[in-house]
Structure 1
Amino acid sequence: MATRVTRRGVLAGSVAGATGLAVGSAATAAPGYRPTGTATRASAGSAGAVGRPRLRWLGNNGWEIRFDTPNGRRTVLIDPWLTRFHTGTYTEQGADPNTPLSVRPDVIDRYHLAADHILVTHGHYDHLTDVPYLAGKTGATVLGTETHVNLMTALGAPADQLSVVRGGEYLECDGYTIQVLRSLHSMTGERSRVAFAGTRPGHPPATPKVIADLVEGETLAYLITVGEVSIIDFGGSNYLGAELAGLRPTVALVPVGGGAIHRYVPRLLATLGNPRYVLPTHWDDFDYPLDEPARDYGGLAPLRTAVRQASPASRFVVVDHLETFTP
């Protein structure tokens, strides 16, 4: 029998582990807390700055990156999950692995998303569930591992829009590039395990019904470059340092947590050359709707402290649900 999965262990020792220093617990930041940077709440249809990417946070690790090219507007989505059905993930009891999967087209359509590419970092329910519907609606090309593609196929995604990647691919697109990087998922609990681990190689499995059916399926990171601006996103609070060597992103989208990972934040930021901007991601309690202010489940302030200590020159910018940021 599968056991409940809780994310509370993600934060255990997160500051001490992230900074390599003995740091006391910090107060939880209030929703919408913005230490530095500029962020504004905007509707889906408002225009962005020409020639520069505009990032909008869709909650969890969901991001919309929009920018204009000579051939028109382009949009890249990362891990878009807007249905946000109740799981209890951030409660003491944790998520019930038998929680039914749910896709709400009425909720998804409310945000009028377009997409040229959809990038999947890993196969868990809070990253992949809505992607098949969005792929069919937008016509986007979807990147993911063999497991991710098999899971999405089983969920009804258009097969001709799914592209298997493994890490190492460097794609030339219309006015932008996408570099696919091998990465690692967060590890939690006393034994430092990956929640809902496993792969689904070969043929697509039976139609996933519950959240435990959506396994990690290996984890990817992505570097999106638009002109002089590059943005790196990690789907979990872990990474492969060797994959990041020589990369110098303008913006790093960094998940909170990483308590089980040795010096998570300082190693990451040093490897990336101390990015100009660090935006926290995957920090909200997703049992609450996207059209409400984000509720910090406890990792925002520790991450801010870790970034400040490891890379004082980096600007730590917090955007709330559906707010945008232009680097």
Structure 2
Amino acid sequence: MGTTSVDRSGKVGRRGLLGAAAGIGLGLGVPGGSVTAKEGASRRTGAAGMTLRWWGNNSWEIRIAVGEGERTILIDPWLTRFHTRTYAPEGADPRTPISVDTALIDRYVDSGELRADHILVTHGHYDHITDVPYLARRTGATVMGTETHLNLMRAMGAPEDQLAIATGGEYLSFDGYSIRALRSLHSATGPRAQVAFAGTRPAVPPAEPRVIEDLVEGGTLAFQVSTDDGFSVVNLGGSNYVEAELAGSRPDIVMIPPGGASVHKYVRRLLDILDRPRYVIPTHWDDFDYPLDEPARDWGGLTGLRQAVEAASPRSRFTVLDHLESRTW
């Protein structure tokens, strides 16, 4: 889950899921400077051999050409999209049962449409982690996440030998690509700038999670995935970040969730520290009560994000993908 707020009834409300109102807290206003000659010269201009596909929410498939084949990295894959009413006025009930649509996942995996070498988890909320243990079993992928994320997934039956802990700071090389795990922050909203379903589950795996409030945030990571030729994408799973962690990463693409109402100059600071990437792709902007085989429905943050990006980095291309749509660089 991105940014959330909890009202007095205990329900998780949309006036928080990735920000209160479109444009609020996005840091509108053009900063000094523009894209530099150095930036243009140092970033790849040819075919990068990377394909991105959006599976809704913050679920992304990254395919990287390697020789005659390819490698596949999934970020926060959540296909089940069980009904929560998170974006409805009354908000989601924290006692909403967790479910995994194994038949749906099997259909994509068995057809060869979905596979994975790595699965990267940004945080432990239900709309980011619920399907990962089953997908790990089906694909054999290595799963990277914090201690809490891995403990939650152990409790949900993830294969122990496929779990790789990340604390942020890891910079790892694989066949044809590299992965950097970056310490990050979850979105925070409301008058006290709080994180919903906060907490950790260290040391010992908890009881099997049953309802959505059992899946706590558990620390937040961002990830940078790069081809061996240097083309890279940074993904943020929540609308907040640690500037020092992102400094020097200079990705070609950044995936940004809308929101950031409580974050000082959210978009402007982010694009400045990333040296204004060539492409900005919105993520986590769809109402996930609607299925993947329908066009994505904006929960209300997309326009504000677009305006903030255009103001802060006019030369960045704001590139929107729809459900299950792919684009190759």
Matched, 1:18 2:15: no
Residue of 266, 278, 284 corresponding to 1:264: 266
Q: Which residue of 2 aligns with 1:24?
A: none
The Cα offsets for residues 137-177 of structure 1, whole Å up to 9 and x where unpaired, read as 00000000000000000000000000111000000100100
- Letter of the structure 1 residue corresponding to residue 149 of structure 2: H
- What's the CA shift for 1:229? 1.1
- What's the CA shift for 1:109? 2.3
Q: Which residue of 2 aligns with 1:120?
A: 121
Contact in 1 for aligned 2:14/2:20 (Cα 8 Å): no
Q: Alpha carbons of 1:210 and 1:16: their partners in 2 closer, same or farther (altered >3 Å)? A: closer
Q: How many residues align?
A: 300
- Letter of the structure 1 residue corresponding to residue 180 of structure 2: Q
Gaps of 5+ in 2: 1-7, 30-45
What is the 5 A alignment of 1:72-151? 72-112=69-109, 113-151=114-152
Q: Give the Cα separation in 1 of the matches to 2:271 and 2:244.
A: 13
Q: Which residue of 2 aligns with 1:236?
A: 238
- What's the CA shift for 1:7? 2.8
- Letter of the structure 2 residue corresponding to residue 228 of structure 1: G
Q: Give the Cα separation in 2 of the matches to 1:205 and 1:81.
A: 21
- Letter of the structure 1 residue corresponding to residue 137 of structure 2: G
Matched, 1:53 2:50: yes
- What's the CA shift for 1:292? 0.7
- What's the CA shift for 1:2? 7.6
The Cα offsets for residues 199-241 of structure 1, whole Å up to 9 and x where unpaired, read as 0000100000000000000000000001231000011000000
The Cα offsets for residues 18-72 of structure 1, whole Å up to 9 and x where unpaired, read as 1245xxxxxxxxxxxxxxxxxxxxxxxxxxx986110000000000001221262
Q: Which residue of 1 aligns with 2:194?
A: 193
Q: Which residue of 1 aligns with 2:11?
A: 4
- Letter of the structure 1 residue corresponding to residue 165 of structure 2: V
Contact in 2 for aligned 1:144/1:165 (Cα 8 Å): yes
Matched, 1:315 2:317: yes
* Structure-2-length-normalised TM-score: 0.88
Q: Which residue of 2 aligns with 1:32?
A: none
What is the 5 A alignment of 1:265-280? 265-280=267-282
Which is further off, 244-253 or 71-80?
71-80
Q: Give the Cα separation in 1 of the matches to 2:62 and 2:24.
A: 32
Q: Give the Cα separation in 2 of the matches to 1:239 and 1:2.
A: 29
Q: Which residue of 2 aligns with 1:169?
A: 170
Contact in 2 for aligned 1:55/1:326 (Cα 8 Å): yes
Q: Give the Cα separation in 2 of the matches to 1:146 and 1:16.
A: 33
- Letter of the structure 2 residue corresponding to residue 280 of structure 1: P
- What's the CA shift for 1:11? 2.9
Aligned-pair identity in percent equals 63
Gaps of 5+ in 1: 22-48
Contact in 2 for aligned 1:62/1:127 (Cα 8 Å): yes
Q: Give the Cα separation in 1 of the matches to 2:22 and 2:285.
A: 13
Q: Give the Cα separation in 2 of the matches to 1:20 and 1:295.
A: 24
Q: Alpha carbons of 1:283 and 1:210: their partners in 2 closer, same or farther (altered >3 Å)? A: same
The Cα offsets for residues 269-309 of structure 1, whole Å up to 9 and x where unpaired, read as 00000000000000000001111100000000000000000
Contact in 2 for aligned 1:14/1:260 (Cα 8 Å): no
Contact in 2 for aligned 1:283/1:297 (Cα 8 Å): yes
Contact in 1 for aligned 2:57/2:286 (Cα 8 Å): yes
Which is further off, 80-89 or 12-21?
12-21
Q: Which residue of 2 aligns with 1:303?
A: 305
Q: Which residue of 1 aligns with 2:42?
A: none
- What's the CA shift for 1:110? 2.9
Q: Give the Cα separation in 2 of the matches to 1:124 and 1:95.
A: 13
Q: Which residue of 2 aligns with 1:41?
A: none
Q: Alpha carbons of 1:12 and 1:51: their partners in 2 closer, same or farther (altered >3 Å)? A: closer
What is the 5 A alignment of 1:281-300? 281-300=283-302
Q: Give the Cα separation in 2 of the matches to 1:293 and 1:307.
A: 23
Q: Give the Cα separation in 2 of the matches to 1:7 and 1:217.
A: 21
- What's the CA shift for 1:16? 4.0
- Structure 1 runs of 4+ aligned residues shifted over 3 Å read none
Other structure's SS at 2:72 match: strand
